[in-house]
Structure 1
Amino acid sequence: MDKAALQAVIDEYRKVNEEYPIRQGDYTANLLHDSKVQGFSEIKDMINMGFCEFRDFNYYRIDSVSKDEVGKLYENREKSLEKWLSSEETEDLFNKKEKAFLLERYHQMKTPLYYEDYDGWKSALHYAQTIVMLVMLVSAFLVSGIFPNEFSWKADSIFFSTKYGRVRGTRAKLIAGLIVVTAIYWMIIALYSVIVLGCLGFDGGNVMIQTGFWYWKSFYNITYMQLYLLTIVSGYIGTLFCLLLSMLISAKTHTAVVAVTIPFAILVLPLFLSNFHFLKGTLGVFPDQLLQINEIINIFNLYQIGGKIVGSIPIMMVIYPILSVTLLPIIYCTYHKTEIK
């Protein structure tokens, strides 16, 4: 979408406005107007956002944007961020390094942006978060009983007194949990992806996410295909970590009731703690964030590590795989050393 393409959108929009003007209180006329601009509505929204203040949105801003001015859309995106970061509102939000990092990431976005229809990827992303959370909650009921079963069946004394009960039996339970979580997750995600993308198409995977209304302000310069892959991979990492934690609790407490509540607690707890400002940094890398990447990718969660500024997503993509691997021997040792009473 170079200057010529943006100017063509302006021309087309004004042509529609003349033929189907918006009339206050006339629902039918306004609905007809919206249907005529639907084909380029996202580009129209880009223009609206690009020429509004960083924290504002004016649906009718395009009406006052000239053809010469619209060519400065991408330049204005950087300027609006710079202006907002220079305001008093951000004094306590970001330090100088963080502000410089954000401006640099905005500057690194390659322009002009390429645009084509990406309904398939947009729809897949829209429901992916819900699918991931449902898979995690359903899997929680399945894996929470793997370790406590012997205790609920009053067979723990037999299990732990057998020759290979503590060693191979514990290992088999752990492997079974991993297989259940992995198989269910990827089978459902694969089925979901094939249905949605198969029906709506794979086109538009190389379109940058900044072309969309919700991601215009994101500092992660990635495509819709990359965002979808990131969403499902991070969803698996988050699901695996939460369910391994659930398995650890079940191995320690010998009851599935407590263990099955862990995934629910991880999802709900941040809602109650979000009002505590001093916990903002911790909540920004809480495991629930891995299950909603397509939302937090728009949030400016920044951290300083070794003098470098990084976003929360790269941190979580490193930390939680390591924590998940660390939980495996802990679960094994916890159940392996169970005392028979």
Structure 2
Amino acid sequence: MVALIKYEIQKVVLNKSVMGACVVFLLVLGGIFNIYLINSRLHTSFHNTMTNSEAVQKNIEFTSKYVGDLTMKKVQAAMNDYSEERTIDPDGGMFNMYSYYTLNTFAKDSGTLFTSIYDSAQAGKVFPVDKSEIKTLDQAGFNQPETGFLQTGNFPTWSILLDALDRIFILTVLLIIFICSTIFSSEVSSGIIGLLLSTKKGRTQSTIAKLSAAVIISVGIFLFSQIATTLLFQILFGFSGWNVSVQANLMWHVRDFPWFINLLQVFLLTRGFQLICVLSIVGATCMISSMTKSPFTSLAISLGGFFAPQLLLRVIKEGTMHTILYLFPSNNYGTETLLELIQKNEGFLLSSVAGNLLALVGILLLLKLLCDLLAYWRVKVYRIS
């Protein structure tokens, strides 16, 4: 069996179409690195007054002042710092993401406050933010621990990382669907399916080997893209901010999330969930490939099956069908989307975070199992014409 799996992997890897797709994948991956990591929102500078590395160091200086317990004193300090920085450089310079999102979250009328700060900065004055109406942690909707405090710090860089990883997931899925769509249908289109199925192991062990090879290759591609992105992130930004509470990531809208976990734990949780999504996508694509006669047809149907729920979600806004659409990977793979889904007490699957998460994982794994069984059955009963 191991020899068969190695043979199937080699056959896929040496396919010229797959090799070409991998080259395109690497080029697009490099483009995503450039846009979302190397020249991220953190590096915004209207006058190009600093290099990317200087922008990262400046961000560390900004956030280091606020690392630790999230208190109203730190909120007030961050908002005051934003007003002072605008006065020093009214038209741009470094984009202080920490202070910006703090002000946007806690100001009762953030739009008016931003305008007032800008107008005062243009006049060379520091706007007195402490005289504005500011929300408390409770008023802002934060779920706070009974003892201790939420932890704050360098959340902007981790938001950038997870945003980049979510986008790379879609790129990875496209390559995986392209590869898996050839697993069975390429042999039908080339006319060698009859010869393969006439062998002793053609309808049993060979099918299992193909499905196993698809999983191994797909998981390998997923892990490569995720690890490469994380390593580049570490080189560019470091891991500062890993212990920030998920509720204290002000770039997301999960301030009332029930679990008190940090951004590193969110990273591990969402990477694991996306891996489960990959397995379900592999199963569905291989099943489709076993039932079609050409890789192109398999590819078209698989891509349509992946993106269709995303399009339907924009049309169906409520009801049972709306909930069902969120079970598809194209609608739940995003980090913030997943967190918002599983924290729902009503209107989703179950009434707890753990229940919703386990139900989602269980459904996706069940889909993988059913698709594998259907693919196996299809090859088992295939009639050679």
User: What TM-score does the superposition give when structure 2 sets the normalisation length?
Assistant: 0.67
How far residue 76 of structure 1 moved from its aligned partner, in angstroms, is 0.8
**Does the alignment pair 1:31 with 2:71?**
no
Partner of 2:377: 333
Q: What amino acid is the match of 2:92?
A: L
- Alpha-carbon RMSD: 3.2
Identify if the C-alpha distance between structure 1 residues 117 and 193 changes in structure 2 by more than 3 Å, giving closer, same or farther.
Answer: same
Tell me which of 159, 162, 171 is aligned to 1:125.
162
Cα displacement (A) at 1:250: 1.1
Match 1:228 to one of 258, 267, 275: 267
Residue 100 of structure 1 aligns with which residue?
Answer: none
Q: Which moved more, 1:266-275 or 1:175-184?
A: 266-275
TM superposition shift of 1:264: 4.3
Compute the displacement of 1:340 (Å).
Answer: 1.1
Aligned residue among 311, 316, 322 for 2:360: 316
Once the two structures are TM-superposed, the CA of residue 36 in structure 1 deviates from its matched residue by: 8.1
Q: Aligned AA for 2:136?
A: L
Percentage identity across paired residues of the two chains: 20
Provide the residue aligned with 2:247 in structure 1: 210
Q: 2:326 aligns with which of 271, 277, 284?
A: 284
| Runs of 4+ more than 6 Å apart | 61-65
Matches within 5 A, 1:38-117: 40-48=99-107, 51=108, 58=111, 60=113, 66=130, 70=134, 73-78=136-141, 106=143, 112-117=149-154
Q: Secondary structure at the match of 1:60?
A: helix
Question: Aligned to 2:209, which of 137, 152, 172?
Answer: 172
SS in structure 2 of the partner of residue 74 of structure 1: coil
Change in 2 beyond 3 A, CA 1:14/1:253:
closer
Could you tell me which runs of 5 or more consecutive residues in structure 2 were left unpaired when the two chains were aligned. Answer: 1-69, 118-126
Aligned length: 297
Tell me if the contact between 1:239 and 1:291 (Cα under 8 Å) persists in the aligned partners. Answer: no
* Structure 1 segments unaligned to the other structure (5+ residues): 21-27, 79-104
| Counterpart Cα distance in 2 of 1:158 and 1:246 | 23
Query: Counterpart of 2:282 in structure 1: which amino acid?
Result: L
Match for residue 290 of structure 2 among 237, 240, 251: 251
Post-superposition Cα deviations, 1:106-126, rounded to whole Å, max 9, x if no partner, equal: 466876432222444222112
- Aligned counterparts of 1:38 and 1:323: Cα–Cα separation in 2: 41
SS of residue matched to 1:253:
coil
Q: Residue by residue, what CA displacement relative to the aligned partner does 1:248-303 show, whole Å, maximum 9, x if unpaired? A: 01112233223212134322442245222443222222221232233453467543
Structure 1 pair 186–16 and aligned structure 2 pair: CA distance change class (3 A): closer
Is 1:160 the equivalent of 2:197?
yes
Q: Which residue identity is paired with 1:267?
A: F
TM-score, length basis structure 1: 0.74
Q: Give the match for residue 35 of structure 2.
A: none
The one-character-per-residue Cα deviations of 1:22-58 (angstroms, maximum 9, x if unpaired) are xxxxxx73426xx48556333323322xx35xxxx53
Q: Is the 8 A contact 1:150 1:156 kept in 2?
A: yes
Secondary structure of the equivalent of 1:145?
coil
User: SS at 2:347's partner residue?
Assistant: strand
Give the conservation status (yes or no) of the 8 Å contact 1:215–1:298. Answer: no
The aligned residue for residue 305 of structure 2 is 265
8 Å CA contact 1:234, 1:293 repeated in 2: no
